[in-house]
Amino acid sequence: MSHTKKIAACFYSLGWRASLALSLMVALLIGSGWYSYAQINALTQATEKHASEHLPSLELLNATQLSITRLANLSGNIANSSAPAEVRVLLAEVRSEIINIRRYLNTLEKNPEIEALNKVVDLLEPNIEQIGVYKATLAQLQHDYDKQYLSVVDAVIQYLMSADADNKLVAVNLVRQLAALNEAERQFEVAQVRREIQASIQELKLQQSDLYDATHAAILADGGLFENRHNFDQLQADIMRLDTQNRILLGNVVDYGKRVYSSMEQSVMAQATSLRENSESVSQSFFWVASIQVLLGILLFVYFRYRVFARLSALRHLVSEDGMIDADELGYFDKRNEIGQLVHQLDSYLKTIRSQQQQIANVSVQLENIIRQSQMRVAVLAEDNVLFCSESLAAVFPEHPLNTIYDFPEKVVAALQDPPTSTEPELILSAFYDAHHQRWYDVSCSQVMWSDQAASLISFADVTERVRVTTEFKRTLSAVENEAFLDPLTGLYNRKMLDKRERQVNSKKIAQNGFAVLLFDVDFFKDYNDHYGHLRGDEALKMVAEVLRRNCPEHADAIRYGGEEFVLLINSRDRATLTELANLVLDEVFALEQQHPTSAYGYLSLSCGIAISEPGVESLLACFDRADQCLYQAKNNGRNCVVVA
C-alpha cells in the first residue's frame, strides 16, 4: 500500500477520528488540571497556615473538655459505687485524667481562665481521693452490719423454732422490725424502726425470755447493730456532701472552659471567613473550567452523532426488521471504515445462518415423524395451543383430541400455568394418576424452539412400578412403627408412646389447650400374682386393658406404662368429666368380680390419680409426676378410689 493510500485509510478510519477527539479532550483536561492544581495549592497553603496556628490549641482545648467530662463521670461513679475493687479502679482512672488535664492546661497559652482551671483541679483531686477513702470504710461498715444483722436474725429464728406458741409473737415482730430497719433509707424511718425494736427487746426482758440476752447486746450495746447503722448513715452523708462539692467545682471547670473556648472560637471564625472567601474564588474558577469541558463534550457528541451513531442506528434497524440486508442497504455504509467492514461481514454471516436454518428445519420435520411413530409421550405447547402431540400421549387421554392446553386434566393444566424457563427438563407434576389406564406418570417440561417460535415441550414418563413399590414400602414401614409402640400382652400402647407424646408436648405440636394424665394401678397385684400365678395375672391385666380400651375417649391414648400401671392421656381439662371417667373404669373393673384373696374388697380393684396440666405451661413428665403423687394418696386412702390434683 502506497504512502498516499495509508494516509487516506487513516482519514476514513473511525479509530483515527476518535483518537483525535480524545487527544483534544486530554489536552483540555491537562490544562484545566494544571490550573485547578495551582488554585488548590494556594488554598491548601492558607489552610495549613490556619491549622498550624490555631487548630493545635483548639484540639488541646477539646481534649481538655473531654477529660473534664470523663472526670465528672468518674467522680459520680465513685460516689455511686458499692464495690471497693471498682472504687480503686475508678480512682486510678481519676488520677490519670487529672494528669492529662494538667498537661493540657500547661500546654495552652496562659490566661486568667487557664489559671482558674488549674486551681479548681487542685481542689478536686483531694476531694475525690477522700470519697475513695470513705467508700472503702463504708464497704467495711456494710460488711460488719450485714454480719451482725444475719447473726441476730438467725438467733431469733432459732428461738422461734424452739419456743412455745404463746411466746412467739414478740419474736416474730422483732424479725419484721429488723427487716424494716434493713430496708429503711430515710432518717425518720430509721428512728421509728429503732424505737419499735427497743420496745420489742424491752418486752422480751419483761417476759424473761432467753432471746433477750441474745439480742440486747448485739443490737443496743456499743458496737452493736444500731451503732453500726448510725456510723454507716453518717459516712454516706459525708460522701454525698463531698460529691455535691465536687459537682459544684466541676460546674466551675465547665464554665471556665466555655470562656476559653469562646475566646478561641472568635479567632478561628476570623480565619474561617478568610478561607471561605478563597474557596468561593476557587469554586468560580472550577465552574468556568467545567463549562468549557461540557461545551467541548457536546460538540464531540454532535460530531459522532451524525458521523458514527447514525450508521450504527441504521445497522440496528436493518438487523431488527427481518435479519436480512439487501444491496441498496449495503451501499449506505462505507466499506473503508470499521462500521462498513462490520456490515459486510454481518451480511456474510446472515447468509450462512439462513442456510443452517433451512437444514435445521429439514431435520425437525424428520425428528417429528420419528417421535410421532415412537412410544415417547410428548407434546409441544405454545400460547395454550398444542402444536404437536405424539400418538402415545394421545392414547393416554382418548376421551377427546388434545388441541389446546385445556384438553389436558386439571392437575396438568394447573402445573403448566407457570412453566419453567430452562431448556433442561424440569419436573412440574410428580406421580400424576391416569384413572383410565390406572397408570402413574411424572410430567416434565422444558423450553424449545418449534417452527421458529418459543414453545414448551412436556413429556409423560410412566412411573407406575416406582409408585407401587414406594406405597408398599410406606405401608410396611407404618405397620412396623405401630407394632413398636404396642404392648404385646394387652394390645395397648406401651411406654414408648408416652415418651413420644412428651416430645410432642415439648415441641408444642399437641396439647396447646392443656391435657390430663389419669394413672391407674391394680391394687395388691403382687399378692394376686403370688396367689394365682403369672398366667392368671396376665389374664387379669388383659381384662383391665379391655376396660380401659372400651372407655378411652376419641383422640386419647390408653397406655400400659409398666407392670400393673396404666395411663390414659386425654386432651381435656374438664375436672368433672375426667373424674367421672376414672370412676367408671374403677366400677367396671370391680364389676368383673375377679376374686382377690388379699384385697379388703374381695375382688380385683384399681386406684387412680388424676393430674390436669396448665395450657402451654407444664410438661407431660411434670404432670405425670403429680398424677403419681395422687395415685400414692389414693393408695393411702384405702385403694379402689380416685384422687384428683
Q: Which range has the top average pLDDT, 88-92, 340-344, 391-395, 596-600? A: 596-600
| pLDDT of res. 591 | 96
The angle subtended at Cα 216 by Cα 210 and Cα 220, nearest 5°, is 175
> Between residues 29 and 453, which one has the greater pLDDT?
453
All three cell numbers of 251, joined, read 460546674
Query: Residue 467 pLDDT more than 70?
Result: yes
| pLDDT of res. 7 | 55
Q: For the segment 120-131, what is each residue's pLDDT rounded down to a tens digit?
A: 777 777 777 777
Instruction: Report how far residue 464's alpha carbon sits from residue 431's, in angstroms, rounded to the nearest whole number.
Output: 8
> Between residues 166 and 545, which one has the greater pLDDT?
545
Cβ pair 128, 246 in contact under 8 A: yes
Lowest pLDDT segment from 263-272, 373-382, 613-622: 263-272
Q: What are phi and psi of 560, to 5 degrees?
A: -90, 110
| pLDDT of res. 493 | 95
What number is the average pLDDT over the span 311-324?
Answer: 58
| pLDDT of res. 308 | 60
Q: For the segment 28-58, what is each residue's pLDDT rounded down to a tens digit?
A: 778 777 777 776 777 677 666 656 655 666 6
Q: For the segment 614-626, what is each residue's pLDDT rounded down to a tens digit?
A: 876 678 999 999 9
> Between residues 16 and 141, which one has the greater pLDDT?
141
Instruction: Report how far residue 102's alpha carbon sits from residue 183's, in angstroms, rounded to the nearest whole number.
Output: 43
> Between residues 568 and 190, which one has the greater pLDDT?
568
Cβ pair 60, 107 in contact under 8 A: yes
Lowest pLDDT segment from 100-114, 216-230, 300-314, 408-422: 300-314
Cβ pair 454, 447 in contact under 8 A: yes
DSSP bridge partners of 607: 521
Grade residue 309 by pLDDT with cuts at 50, 70 and 90: low
Element containing residue 198 per DSSP (H, E): helix 187-206
How confident is the prediction for the chain on average, in pLDDT?
77
Cβ pair 156, 211 in contact under 8 A: yes
Percent of the chain topping pLDDT 70: 72
Question: Which DSSP string corresponds to 211-276?
Answer: HHHHHHHHHHSTTSHHHHHHHHHHHHHHHHHHHHHHHHHHHHHHHHHHHHHHHHHHHHHHHHHHHH
Element containing residue 6 per DSSP (H, E): helix 3-12
What number is the average pLDDT over the span 547-553?
Answer: 96
What number is the average pLDDT over the span 592-597?
Answer: 94
Q: Is the dihedral of CA 113, 118, 120, 124 positive or negative?
A: positive
Grade residue 236 by pLDDT with cuts at 50, 70 and 90: confident
Count of C-beta atoms within a 10 Å radius of residue 617: 9
Grade residue 543 by pLDDT with cuts at 50, 70 and 90: very high
Percent of the chain topping pLDDT 90: 20
| pLDDT of res. 557 | 95
3-class secondary-structure state, position 428 = strand
Grade residue 405 by pLDDT with cuts at 50, 70 and 90: confident
Alpha-carbon distances of 581 from 559, 570, 587, rounded to whole Å: 16, 11, 10
> Between residues 384 and 39, which one has the greater pLDDT?
384
Displacement of CA 5 from its chain's centroid (Å): 74
- Please, is 364 exposed, middle or buried when counting C-beta atoms within 10 Å of its C-beta (0-12, 13-18, 19+)? middle
* Backbone torsion region of residue 446, taken as left when φ is above 0, otherwise alpha when ψ lies between -120 and 50, otherwise beta: beta
What number is the average pLDDT over the span 520-534?
Answer: 95
Alpha-carbon distances of 598 from 531, 535, 542, 569, rounded to whole Å: 9, 18, 20, 30
